[in-house]
Amino acid sequence: MKEVLVIGHRNPDPDAICSAIGYAEFKRRTGMPEAVAARCGDTNERIDFILRTFGVPAPRFVADVSPRVQDVMESNVLSVGPDATATEALTLMDNANIRVLPILDAERRCRALVSVFKASKFFFPAVGRAFDSRRVIASVRSLARTVRGRLICGFDPDREDDLILMIGAMRSSSFAERLQNYPPERLLVVVGDRVDVQELAVRARVRALVVTGGLAVSEEVAEEARRNEVSLIISPYDSATTSMLCRAAVPVRHVQDEHFLSFHQEEQIRRVRDVATNSAFPAFPVVDDEGRVVGILTKSDFLKPVEKRLILVDHNELSQAVTGADEVEILEIIDHHRIGALRTQQPILFRNEPVGSTSTIVADCFFRYGVDLPAPIAGILLSGLVADTLNLTSPTTTRRDAEVLARLEAAAGVNAKEFTDQLFASGSILVSRPPAQAITADCKEYAEAGVRYSVAQIEELGFENFRDRKADVQQALEAYRRERGYYFSALLVTDVVEQVSLLLVSGAEEFRESIDYPEVEPGIYRMVGIVSRKKQLLPYLTHQLAKMPTPPTAAA
């Protein structure tokens, strides 16, 4: 059963992590055992504090859900070894209705391919090379195995020989005359119950004699064969069938394609599709990091549906989603932000509610449907709720948040106020991380009025840590904006105690000049009472963009 990843946005905040954990638990308890909590960004000190407090592991890290070769390849690999016969390879291909087999060594590394097309050129040589149809490259043992015969006596049976096939279907005098035309040590004679021909062959010391029809040979002929070191095989088939099978005893290395194209199992389908479909190769070995074959890919595999499935929590815009989300199936979206431009291929469950946190919505799912809520999961959801609403003091807070929080306190056995104080005191991102990482720890990308921009937020207890690192933070913000080509990049540094924020804006001068909050320093604006990115800052920024006199362009 393929997993369903329940995953938050890039650069996850506590609510994204907590709602992913909580909703995955809810889905498992309501009939989706394959639901797995995931994340597409690093945790931070506060998230780690939450996870440690309630003894819950971090969601699985998944940086990219783009369909991979391993998602569509055939993992049950049929293969042959270098010493397998063409008959064995062709039988495998016929039974499985495939055209190509990899030839693998003892370490499962692909040495070549054997295909129906290449083998047919050996069995049906071009006009003008009719003699090649009598060429048999095989050992005595592989001949016996291929014709399913009984080896009466064999001499150096594993030595590979380049033999000439001769069928004893003529008078003994004619056969004796023809024997003179070839070196006997290279002759493979196929004959029925013609004792005179059998005797001529063993006396001439041919390399091997195959008696067809399952017929026994006289003890005199068998003894002569042993004396003259002639390998003797009894075939159950008639002479025509036995002759064809002898040709098919050739080891696959003589009919192999040494040139082939392989792919790594982690390669993205979109990157290999054109290469594969435009190549002349019918199939492609798929290898792991050690070069071992773990699958086989054919051109028809690109038509298979990819079974990766997602449930998005705490976001609904692809610009914020895990890489590759636009290439896989999205089953559900659980969110409390504005609705962005996201299209799906089929109807989905989209639950978007104007509450203070996605954790509120997830907790309500447990309560509404009477699903048992374990205490650790209740604590996780409580954490996401108080982190996103600043313990119900954020302007995004609703009455529903307060009602749900009260029930979570009881379920988790946790005092929300005391826990919130511990949470925000658990570590400063500005102190624990370099500026370049601190400004992207909780950062989202948006598209508005024809431009792309980013808005990040850092929540602190006071501004002391920020003032100590102000210059470095501003430089990091500008470098990030230039690297991504944003029209502007904004960072909201919020004092959760005083309920006031400092807004840093890097980017186009005309946009910075439109900001009408007090500019306490160049590029830094004081915003009293502004603590919510979603409900306060983002609407303000989009409003300022809409007032721009000309269509904005990315700043240099």
Average of per-residue pLDDT across 56-61: 97
pLDDT over 80 at 552, yes or no: no
Rounded average pLDDT over 375-400: 95
H helices of 288-374, where?
358-368
Phi, psi torsion values for 267, nearest 5 degrees: -65, 145
For the chain, which residues make up each domain, given as ranges? 4-66+308-424, 86-254, 430-546
404-450 confidence digits (pLDDT tens):
999 999 999 999 999 998 998 887 888 888 999 999 988 999 988 78
Distance from C-alpha of 219 to C-alpha of 230, rounded to nearest angstrom: 14
CA distance 320 to 534: 14
Out of 110-119, 175-184, 234-243, 463-472, pick the least confident: 110-119
Highest CATH level, class, for 4-66+308-424: alpha beta
The answer to whether 361 touches 353, Cβ cutoff 8 Å, is yes
> Is 12 in contact with 43 (CB distance < 8 Å)?
yes
Instruction: Work out whether strand 488-495 and strand 451-460 pair parallel, antiparallel, or are unpaired.
Output: parallel
Residue 252 confidence (pLDDT): 87
Is 447 in a helix, a strand, or coil? strand
CA distance 222 to 105: 38
Give the confidence band of 124 by pLDDT, cuts at 50, 70, 90: low
Q: What pLDDT, on a 0 to 100 scale, did the predictor assign at position 61?
A: 96
With pLDDT > 70 as the criterion, what percentage of the chain qualifies?
96
Quick check: 205 pLDDT over 90? yes
DSSP track, 108-162: --EEEEEEHHHHHHHHSPPTT-GGGGGEEEE-HHHHHHHTT-EEEE-SSTT--EE
Give residue 346's pLDDT.
86
Asked whether 38 and 20 are in contact (CB, 8 A), the reply is yes
**Nearest one of 253, 254, 198 to 228, comparing CA atoms:** 198
Q: How confident is the model at residue 534 (pLDDT cuts 50, 70, 90)?
A: confident
Mean pLDDT in residue range 269-277: 92
pLDDT for the residue numbered 413: 97
Q: Calculate what percentage of the chain has a pLDDT beyond 90.
A: 71
Can you tell me whether residue 492 is helix, strand or coil? strand
Name the more confident of 78 and 553.
78
Q: How far is CA 303 from the centre of its chain?
A: 16
| Domain 86-254 classification at class level | alpha beta
Rounded Cα–Cα distance for residues 305 and 504 (Å): 45
> pLDDT by residue (tens digit) across 316-367?
999 899 999 999 999 999 999 988 877 888 899 999 999 999 999 999 999 9
pLDDT at 130 (0 to 100): 46
CA distance readout (Å), 87 to 77, 90, 134:
18, 5, 17
Is the separation of the CB atoms in 443 and 477 below 8 Å? Answer: no
Q: What is the mean pLDDT of the chain?
A: 91
Place of tokens 């299209």: 343
In the predicted structure, residue 128 carries a pLDDT above the cut 60: no
pLDDT of residue 551 exceeding 80, the answer is no
pLDDT of residue 131: 47
Looking at per-residue confidence, does 75 or 344 come out higher?
75
Q: Give the whole-angstrom CA distance, residue 535 versus residue 496.
A: 16
Transcribe 278-292 into DSSP letters: TSS-SEEEEE-TTS-
Cβ 448 vs Cβ 545: under 8 Å: yes
What pLDDT shows up at residue 99?
87
User: Is residue 383 scored above 70 in pLDDT?
Assistant: yes
Give domain 430-546's CATH superfamily.
DHHA2 domain (3.10.310.20)
CB 214 within 8 A of CB 236: yes
Type and span of the H or E element at 424 = helix 416-424
What's the whole-model pTM score? 0.68
| Integer Rg of the chain from CA | 37
Q: Where residue 11 falls among pLDDT bands split at 50, 70, 90?
A: confident
The per-residue pLDDT for 1 is 60
d(CA 74, CA 280): 20
Q: Supply the pLDDT for residue 134.
A: 85
251 φ, ψ (degrees, to nearest 5): -60, 145
pLDDT digits (tens, 9 = 90+) for 95-107: 988 888 999 999 9
More reliable by pLDDT, 307 or 525? 525
